[in-house]
Structure 1
Amino acid sequence: MTPPLTHLIAPGLAPEVLLQQIYLNVRDFAIFTTDPEGKVSSWNIGAELIFGYAPGEIIGQNMKCLFTVSDQAEGQHLQEMQQALERQRASDYRWHMRKDNSMFWADGVLTPIPGEDSQSMGYLKILRDVTERKLAQDEIHRLATIDVLTGLANRAAFDTRRGELMALAERTGQLLLLLMIDLDQFKEVNDLLGHHAGDQLLKLVTQRIRAVSRESDYVARLGGDEFGLMQLHAPSPTSGGVLADKLLQELERPFMIGDHEVKISASIGIAVCPMDASDPDLLLKKADLALYHAKNAGRNRYHYYTEALDEVAHRKNADHNELRRLMRNGRCELAYQPILDAAGHTIAMEALLRLPGYLGRQPVEYAIGLAGEIGMLPALGVWVVQRACEQQRRWRDLGINGLRICVNTCAKELRDDGYVGKLEETLALHGLQAADIEIELTERDAIELERSGSQVIQRLRDAGFMLSLDDFGTGYSSLSYLRALPVNTIKLDKSFLHGVPDNADANAVVRMVIELAQALRLNVIAEGVERTEQAVFLGRAGCGAFQGFLYTPALTANDATVWLQTHAAH
């Protein structure tokens, strides 16, 4: 039982006088009372100074207006009142809202005011503004988790985050790549130019690592000249090698520190979760072992912990370099495969990328993927269009008219804002019209662009270009999107011809697709036609054009010219 107030103060000092002095003169603490429902019933000078409300503005209002909007939505004031009733007090350490909607961090307590029959008459709230102390604590915590020199996370934060990301990778079934990056020749820079130059170099290295990595990648300086990078949601384990190669190229470029040009390199070790380890410390140990391997192998290189993955990644790295070399030296070529109408006349030529050597023996999709990984896909696409238009101009000058050139593209290329403009510039340079070019993209890419809200397909159509869906039937949601996509033609994938014309079910599917296309006023080209019986069946089913080894494989530019002189429409 709470003792009477008169038992707690000296004789001769009236309680009401003491209460008046507290309410009029205590400025550092907000002191106020509420009724049982939380409506403010008294308000001291400290509360007026801290919250900004005069007594006449706040008395009668529910104290929930003093809480932040999110706390109000969660009923935080009600929870606090309930806790005070159950425990005789409730701590209050959170953001609060002033009259002007600014926020401050408060440290306070709420206690019930006892009444008759143990019923609460209301609540007494005492709090103070501790924003400066809170921000100082937050800053101390921040400084404890970052590397002050570079602004990156430090070793302690990296260790904590590694465990969190590995747990997330395990829950979501995603890959987590861990790259350990150690600078080569850093000690020599410190010894030659001094520690200040070394610090400047570390800051510049940080900028380059950040520029190459994804925004979502977690980068830390682990101490000295060692950095760590974690990448969640990696497309494949070999993505680590692609990133490592970019890092090595960036860090090998000279740095300017004052008047001095500084050259260094880096060694990188890569481990993959969950393939290499599912324990945070073990994954780090394996990435360190891979880094040790890279340094011992001669530096300025990367290695995976897993030998098999290391071999695959380095094969891909060599392929990246080979593709760069081929493009730099003009070694890429185009071949042309004819597309014929039912009368046997060539109405179009599909331009197909051809590469020499090892890359030329791989599926062309592999080279396209390589170009995308090293950022050369736009340049490769521009080259294909330019070369195809040059060849179209030559054929026109030879009197071969009424022929379209079909050029393959993809969603990544079409997302480039300048794609349509570059296409039109190339046509103008060679005296061609939009109708002379047919843009081919796969069904998957077309649907991806449609779902993303891109209008580029419609822009191409409005500009007069013919558009076709390549490999139709191998994607997803084909029929639901076919009606909405602004294309002229579908190219029936060669997989549809398996069993045609001997299998009744295969025949029925092909007839259905051709009838659907005709109902939607779309042209149909059958790809992969290899037998005369297939061509006869397709023609009777209403297919208007054919492409495949039955007629000819893809031809060099010279052979294609000879072909057109005898097979072109006149």
Structure 2
Amino acid sequence: MTPHLTTVISPGLAPDILLRQIYLNVRDFAIFTADTQGMVTSWNIGAELIFGYAPNEIIGFSMARLFTAADQAEGQHWHEMEQAEQCDRAADYRWHLRKDHSMFWADGVMTPIQGDHGQPIGYLKILRDITERKLAQDEIRRLATIDALTGLANRAAFDTRRMEMVSLAERTGQLLLLLMIDLDQFKEVNDVLGHQAGDQLLQQVAQRIRDISRESDYIARLGGDEFALLHLYAPSPTSGGVLAEKLLAALVQPFMIDGREVKISASIGIAVCPVDATSADSLLKKADLALYYAKNAGRNRYHYYTQALDDVAHRKNADHTELRRLLLGRRCDLAYQPILDQAGHTISMEALLRLPGYLGRQPVEYAIGLAGEMGVLPELGNLVVRIAFAQLRLWRDAGLTGVRICINTCAKELRDAGYLRQLDAALEEHGLDAGDIEIELTERDAIELERNGSKVIEQLRARGFMVSLDDFGTGYSSLSYLRTLPVNTIKLDKSFLHGVPVSDDANAVVKMVIRLAQDLRLNVIAEGVESTEQAVFLGDAGCHAFQGYLYTPALAASEATAWLHDHAMA
């Protein structure tokens, strides 16, 4: 039990006089009492000065209003009273709320006021405002983890985060890339221009690394001219090479230091967790070794720790360079594969991307993936649209009027804000109508757009474009989406034709899909038709449009023109 007040007061000083002096004159400490319901029952001058409430504004009200909104939601004042009752005291070291809603950091204590029978009849709270001390301590802690020159994390913070992120990657099964970045020719800058210029250069380098990296990347200056970047949730190991290429391109650009142009470069070593290492220390050692390889190979380059990854990444980045060169020179071409009706008339031509050289020998999906990684997919798509529309215009001018053009696209391209504008501009440029064009995308991409709430397919339909689902049946559980997806046509994937017409099971599946499409008022095109028997079966099942090697492979523009003269509708 707390001692009675008279046992701790000099016999010459009455308790009420002492309390009055405390409440009227102690200004550096807030002193107040509350009843067992948390209602404030007394309030000293210090409390008035610290919290901003006059006694008549707070006495009789809950002390909960002195706590932040988050602490109020958690009932923090009740927890404090419970702890004080159970332990005879409760520490209060937290943010509190003033009358004007500003916050301050308090250091305080609450104790119970005991009644005659040992039960609390209220609580005494004493606290002080130590915000300046708190902020100073926070700044000391921040400075302990921050590189003062660049504002990046320092070596100590990097070591801690590296261990945390390796553990996280191990738990989640995600890839973690460590890029060690070392500046080339930095010593010459210091020797020629002085250390102050070197410091300015390091600050600008840090900013360029920030600009290139993702918000979720962790960047640190480890000391001198060495930086590190932790890249979690990488889609593949080769994405480290993509990031390294961007960093190298940014750091090789001239820096302006005190009105002088300064040129440097960088070398980058990359290690991958868990491919190269599964511990934080091992990952660092292998990234350092990869950096050593990059330095020895001539600088201004990156190197992976694993040779196989290094080969793949450098091949991919060479392909990035080649694709960028092709786009700059508009050196893309298109081939055209006819889609025919049962009478053998061509109703549309599917435009297919063709690239020269090494990229042209790879599956077209590879080039599309490269364009997505580089952020040039809209540019590539716009080039395809303009070439295809120009060709359709030539066919129309030649009197071949009964054919549409089919353009392949994907969800990433359709999400681009300028996609519809580019289509509209291309239509106007070539004097075409939206009804002359069919937009093809895979069912996977269509469903992705639907799930993400995109309305671009509806907007295409509203403009008058035809929309078809390509490779139908190879992705999601598509049948449940057919009812809601705003498309005109499904293209039955060629995998459905395996076994047709000799396999009863294969035949039954094809008939079922065609019948469902008809019930939903959708057109059906069969892809990959290779035999007359397949074509006859499909026609009998209700499919009235066909595409495949039975008729012709994709044709160059001149060959496609000749084909249309022979197979277009009169």
How is 1:326-475 mapped onto 2 (pairs within 5 angstroms)?
326-475=326-475
Residue 196, structure 1, aligned to residue 201, structure 2: no
Name the CA distance, whole Å, in 1 between partners of 2:12 and 2:327.
99
SS of the counterpart of 2:234? coil
How is 1:83-94 mapped onto 2 (pairs within 5 angstroms)?
83-94=83-94
Deviation larger for 39-48 or 113-122: 113-122
How far 1:540 sits from its partner (Å)? 0.7
Gaps of 5+ in 2: none
How far 1:207 sits from its partner (Å)? 2.3
Q: Which amino acid aligns with 1:542?
A: G
How far 1:450 sits from its partner (Å)? 1.5
Q: Encode CA deviations 1:130-161: one digit per residue, 9 max, x unaligned.
A: 11211121122112211222221111111111
How far 1:199 sits from its partner (Å)? 1.9
Q: Which residue of 2 aligns with 1:68?
A: 68
Name the CA distance, whole Å, in 2 between partners of 1:4 and 1:422.
85
Name the CA distance, whole Å, in 2 between partners of 1:2 and 1:94.
26
Q: Encode CA deviations 1:288-329: one digit per residue, 9 max, x unaligned.
A: 111111111111111111122112111211221222233333
Q: Which residue of 2 aligns with 1:564?
A: 564
Q: Which amino acid aligns with 1:184?
A: D
SS of the counterpart of 2:299? coil
Name the CA distance, whole Å, in 1 between partners of 2:514 and 2:118.
85
Q: Which residue of 2 aligns with 1:287?
A: 287
Q: Which residue of 2 aligns with 1:241?
A: 241
Name the CA distance, whole Å, in 1 between partners of 2:487 and 2:343.
24
Q: Which amino acid aligns with 2:203?
A: K
4+ residue stretches of structure 1 with deviation over 6 A? none
Name the CA distance, whole Å, in 2 between partners of 1:406 and 1:310.
39
- Whether the 8 Å contact between 2:341 and 2:545 is mirrored in structure 1 is yes
How far 1:2 sits from its partner (Å)? 4.1
Name the CA distance, whole Å, in 1 between partners of 2:414 and 2:250.
28
Residue 111, structure 1, aligned to residue 114, structure 2: no
Q: Which residue of 1 aligns with 2:59?
A: 59
Q: Which residue of 2 aligns with 1:153?
A: 153
Q: Which residue of 2 aligns with 1:222?
A: 222
- Whether the 8 Å contact between 2:104 and 2:129 is mirrored in structure 1 is yes
Query: How many pairs were matched up?
Result: 570
How far 1:25 sits from its partner (Å)? 0.7
Q: Which residue of 1 aligns with 2:314?
A: 314
Q: Which amino acid aligns with 1:126?
A: I
- Whether the 8 Å contact between 2:330 and 2:383 is mirrored in structure 1 is no
SS of the counterpart of 1:548? coil
Name the CA distance, whole Å, in 2 between partners of 1:501 and 1:331.
42
Residue 142, structure 1, aligned to residue 148, structure 2: no
Q: Which residue of 1 aligns with 2:516?
A: 516
Name the CA distance, whole Å, in 2 between partners of 1:414 and 1:474.
21
Name the CA distance, whole Å, in 2 between partners of 1:206 and 1:335.
47
Q: Which residue of 1 aligns with 2:100?
A: 100
Q: Encode CA deviations 1:496-529: one digit per residue, 9 max, x unaligned.
A: 1111111111111111111111111111111111
Deviation larger for 136-145 or 524-533: 136-145
State TM-score, norm by structure 2: 0.97
SS of the counterpart of 2:93? strand
Name the CA distance, whole Å, in 2 between partners of 1:192 and 1:459.
60
Name the CA distance, whole Å, in 1 between partners of 2:219 and 2:401.
58
SS of the counterpart of 1:554? coil
Q: Encode CA deviations 1:195-249: one digit per residue, 9 max, x unaligned.
A: 2222222222222212221121111111111111111111111111111111111
Q: Which residue of 2 aligns with 1:265?
A: 265
How far 1:357 sits from its partner (Å)? 2.4
Q: Which residue of 2 aligns with 1:547?
A: 547
Aligned residues: CA RMSD: 1.4
- Whether the 8 Å contact between 2:40 and 2:59 is mirrored in structure 1 is yes
How far 1:124 sits from its partner (Å)? 0.9
SS of the counterpart of 1:233? strand
Q: Encode CA deviations 1:261-306: one digit per residue, 9 max, x unaligned.
A: 2221111111111111221111111111111111111111111111
SS of the counterpart of 1:325? helix
Q: Which amino acid aligns with 2:141?
A: H
State TM-score, norm by structure 1: 0.97
How far 1:334 sits from its partner (Å)? 0.7
Residue 37, structure 1, aligned to residue 18, structure 2: no
